[in-house]
Chain A
Amino acid sequence: MIVFKNVHKWFGKLHVLNDINLHVRSGEVVVICGPSGSGKSTLIRCINRLEKFQQGELYVDGQALHDHSINLTKLRADIGFVFQQFHLYPHMTALQNVTLAPVNVRKIDKKEAVALGREKLARVGLADKAEAYPAQLSGGQQQRVAIARGLAMNPKIMLFDEPTSALDPEMIGEVLDVMVQLAGEGMTMCVVTHEMGFARQVAHRVIFMDAGQLVEKGAPDEFFDHPKTDRAAQFISKILTH
Chain B
Amino acid sequence: MISLSKVSKHYGSFQVLTDCSTEIKKGEVIVICGPSGSGKSTLIKCVNGLESIQQGEIIVNGISVNDPKTNLSKLRAHVGMVFQNFELFPHMSVLDNLCIAQTKVLGRSQEEAADRGLKLLDRVGLSLHAKKFPGQLSGGQQQRVAIARALAMDPICMLFDEPTSALDPEMVNEVLDVMVGLAQEGMTMMVVTHEMGFARKVANRVIFMDHGHIIEDASKDDFFNKPRSERAQQFLSKILQH
Please indicate whether A and B come from the same complex rather than being unrelated chains.
Answer: no
A residues whose Cβ falls under 8 Å from a Cβ of B? none
B residues whose Cβ falls under 8 Å from a Cβ of A? none
